[in-house]
Structure 1
Amino acid sequence: MKIKKVLLLLVIFATFTSCKVGRFIVYNFADIHDNKKFPARQIESANTKFYFQTAEKGKVPREINVDGTKYPFEEYIQKNKTVAFLIIKNDTLQYEKYFRDYNSSSIVPSFSMAKSITSILIGCAIDDELIESVNDPVTKYIPELKNTGFDTVTIEHLLQMTSGLKFNESYSNPFGDAATFYYGTNLRKAIGKMKLNSQPGKKFAYVSGNTQLLGLVLERALKDKTISAYLEEKLWKPLQMEFDASWSLDKENGLEKTFCCINATARDYAKIGRLYLNKGNWNGKQIVSQDWVERSTKIDTAQGSAQFYQYQWWLPSKTGDFMAQGILGQYIYVHPEKNLIIVRLGKNEGNANWWEILASMGQAY
């Protein structure tokens, strides 16, 4: 009888996890273990690894000032649900600390930091002449969206989140767009049903559907190569990543969830920051064009673009800093003028305003 009950529970679980609503019920809400829940493609690291130097006595903040109250630095970041915190200045680790049984080899989901990495791959595809220009209409690569309003939506509109896409970003509704994209098992079908709310190029609206459209554009441009294979070829191996990674899919052998869901380690996320800190150059080799990096991280308010967001990167201040950000408080923060990279990964945001904290640390260094 017990065996029958166990088998029944396994059948129920398998049934629930094979559809969107079932996944939502079983897995809701997004958490730091989501890399273990979805099918994924593996991304191999390089044979030759790059390691940041480690300072004998690193420059580490003693305190964090929050609304006029000072807290001990390490106590504060630990209390606020951090699992990894790295400070890298002048290519040297000033601080590297892990909490909650995490360590340097722990894989942590990127969540929306993957948007910034997807943007890098779009830049690489333009460099490789697989995509002609950011001015290309989306329908050049996704012809099934022709005559639905998308003929006037360009790749740049998607990069800048100014496409006018109709998309509910809420993750709390199992029947909403975000749940469909995150928990669903057929992203191509979901993309085919997308509609516009407004005319493109008029207004910024942060919605993950834009980046998933970029993902399908990229896949079509790559033809017979997967997005994960392109990431491995263009970034993971050239950047001499220390650990293998993966990219979660909507289903087995499906489409990469490009709006989220790269799974990697803190040190390897930091190398993404190092690439952009050095304007796309990695130890003498130009991985993605300098022009692309500069365009991706400059303040531009033309054609509806927001001053705090450009080409899937957040711009927290007007000092030239920029960052990738994920929903549970995952950050790759870069301040080129200070030659500074900070990576913060967390179980969630805690009660911290990481935007303000990271920008403040950037100024202090």
Structure 2
Amino acid sequence: MNYTKWHRVGLLMILAVVLSSCKLGRFVVYNFADIKDYKKFPSRALVSHERKFRFDSTSNGKYPKAIKVGNRKDSISLDRLLESHSTVAFLIIRNDTIQYEKYFKGYNRESIIPSFSMAKSVTSILIGCAIDDGLIKSVDEPVTHYLPELEKNGFGKVTIKHLLQMTSALDFSESYFNPFGEAASFYYGRNLKREVSKLKLKGEPGKTFDYVSGNTQLLGEVLASALKGKTVTQYFQEKLWTPLEMEYDGSWSIDKKNNGTEKAFCCINARARDFAKIGRLYLNKGAWNGRQIVSRKWVEESTKADTTEGGADYYKYQWWLPSANGDFMAEGILGQYIYVNPEKNVVIVRMGKNGGGVNWSDFFIALAGYADRH
């Protein structure tokens, strides 16, 4: 290799180091959210329980072996449909029994997959646990009771409920394509507390639904303040990971290695089967094998449509409501889902490399009703 080539290589190496040291550089290098992102960020560990809960399974599950999707005239096997639409893990659980479990594209039962925004639903559960524990008084408290530094930014009228409902009027760009927007700063940045301290409002709270991740990160900060020294991951371990007898270790990504802050809006890293247990907990109204983990009242309040104070009829307390029939789901970018249908006693987990161009909520609803017809 001649001097010019070595010079070019050296410049590229220096550029890579400089870029990787800042938010913009990480945005350029990583480009966009990816299913392997759990490897890019530091994290806090979640340790599996010595006793493992495992779903029953059957080889005679009632699910469609071949189905039609969209405008297709012919039927396609469920396996082929999932694999051809960027799915890496798919579980159908009915009556506590795995009816269908398949992995694709080199993934298997032990593969770690990031939750992305499904973490928002988990953050909501932890807020409910904190209310049960008396650490937070109610959803009607102003967030400034826990984050007084935001008073100067006009947050005195913003309540915890506004954050849960996504009706806070937060001035926040949710675009992950904009390297200078808040979403990129929250995802790729290394100082979430500083980014939170800069947040402002663009209107009156309680008027309009606007889905932005800043609301959930604020919930995470409220929770962290209420915990008084315990990390959000430690509380997650105590209230959910251990009681639900998770099968595998997991983690929650943080912004930096030393005294980092959990990315409450996005980044829990786990296996598909353990994500399914979050669905089972809410399917059973917050109870787990006879023990009430989070109050039934909180579960019902969290998953019932409420259009007052600007709320949307398809979203409640960090859970999506895909129909008017009592079903609900956690959803993450790239098509990560925990779908729960209490009427059919069904939990479905779909994890993917991307959304795959499928309307998954309609697909889940159809699958949940299939067993009753066959």
What TM-score results when the alignment is normalised by the length of structure 1?
A: 0.96
Q: Does 1:132 align with 2:147?
A: no
Task: Give the match for residue 111 of structure 1.
Answer: 116
Aligned to 1:353: 359
Work out the CA distance in 2 between the residues paired with 1:8 and 1:258.
Answer: 37
CA distance in 1, matches of 2:171, 2:218: 13
Matched, 1:28 2:34: no
Give the count of matched residue pairs.
365
Letter matched to residue 288 of structure 2: W
1:130-177 Cα shifts (integer Å, max 9, x gaps): 111101101011111113221000000000000011111100010011
Pick from 73, 77, 88: which aligns with 2:78? 73
Residue 57 of structure 1 corresponds to which residue in structure 2?
60
Match of 2:269 in 1: 263
CA distance in 1, matches of 2:91, 2:84: 16
Displacement after TM superposition at 1:114 (Å): 0.2
2:350 counterpart SS class:
strand
How far apart in 2 are the matches of 1:64 and 1:53? 25
Choose the corresponding residue for 2:284, options 258, 275, 278.
278
Task: Please state how far the C-alpha of 1:283 moved relative to its aligned partner.
Answer: 0.2
Which residue of the partner structure matches residue 298 of structure 1? 304
State the Cα deviation string for residues 60-112 of structure 1 (Å, max 9, x = none): 21233323424322111110000000000000000000001111010000000
Task: Name the amino acid aligned to 1:63.
Answer: A
Match of 1:316 in 2: 322
Do residues 166 (structure 1) and 171 (structure 2) align? yes
The one of 34, 37, 40 equivalent to 1:37 is 40
2:210 is aligned, of 205, 213, 221, to 205
Residue 7 of structure 1 deviates from its aligned partner by 7.9
CA distance in 2, matches of 1:49, 1:9: 48
Partner of 2:50: 47
Aligned position for 2:128: 123
SS at match of 1:203: coil
Query: Unpaired segments of 5 or more residues in structure 1?
Result: none
Which stretch shifts more, 3-12 or 184-193? 3-12
d(CA) in 1 for partners of 2:197, 2:269: 27
1:332 is paired with a residue of what secondary structure? strand
- The runs of 4+ residues in structure 1 deviating greater than 3 Å are 1-15
User: What is the alpha-carbon distance in structure 2 between the residues aligned to residue 3 and residue 241 of structure 1?
Assistant: 50
Aligned mate of 1:337, from 325, 332, 343? 343
Instruction: Output the CA distance in 2 between the equivalents of 1:93 and 1:3.
Output: 56
Report SS of the residue matched to 2:176.
Answer: coil
State whether residues 18 and 185 of structure 1, in contact with CA within 8 Å, keep that contact through their aligned partners in structure 2. Answer: no
Q: Secondary structure at the match of 1:213?
A: helix
Which residue in 1 is equivalent to 2:238? 233
User: Are residues 227 and 6 of structure 1, via their aligned partners in 2, closer, same or farther at CA, if it must alter by over 3 Å?
Assistant: farther
* Amino acid corresponding to residue 134 of structure 1 in structure 2: V
| Other-structure match for 1:307 | 313
In 1, the alpha carbon distance for the partners of 2:356 and 2:96 equals 29
Contact 2:63–2:370 (8 Å) recurs in 1? no
C-alpha separation between the residues in 1 aligned to 2:337 and 2:165?
19
Q: Is the 8 A contact 2:120 2:318 kept in 1?
A: yes
One-letter identity of the residue aligned with 1:163: S
Identical pairs, percent: 62
CA contact (8 A) 2:140 2:159 kept: yes
Q: Secondary structure at the match of 1:146?
A: helix
Secondary structure in 2 matching 1:337:
coil
The superposition leaves residues 276-306 of structure 1 with CA deviations (integer Å, 9 ceiling, x where unpaired) of 0000000011100000000000011111100
Q: Output the amino acid matched with 1:28.
A: N
SS at match of 1:124: helix
Distance 1:363 1:52 in 2: 20
CA offset at residue 6 of structure 1?
7.7
Q: Unpaired segments of 5 or more residues in structure 2?
A: none
Q: Is the 8 A contact 1:165 1:210 kept in 2?
A: yes
Query: CA offset at residue 4 of structure 1?
Result: 9.7
Alignment-derived partner of residue 97 in structure 1 = 102
Alpha-carbon distance in structure 1 between the residues aligned to 2:144 and 2:101: 45
CA RMSD, 1 decimal = 1.6
TM-score (norm: length of structure 2): 0.94
Match of 2:252 among 211, 222, 247: 247
State the partner residue of 1:176: 181
Query: CA contact under 8 A between 2:337 and 2:351: conserved in structure 1?
Result: yes
Larger CA deviation: 56-65 vs 228-237: 56-65
The one of 221, 234, 239 aligned to 1:216: 221
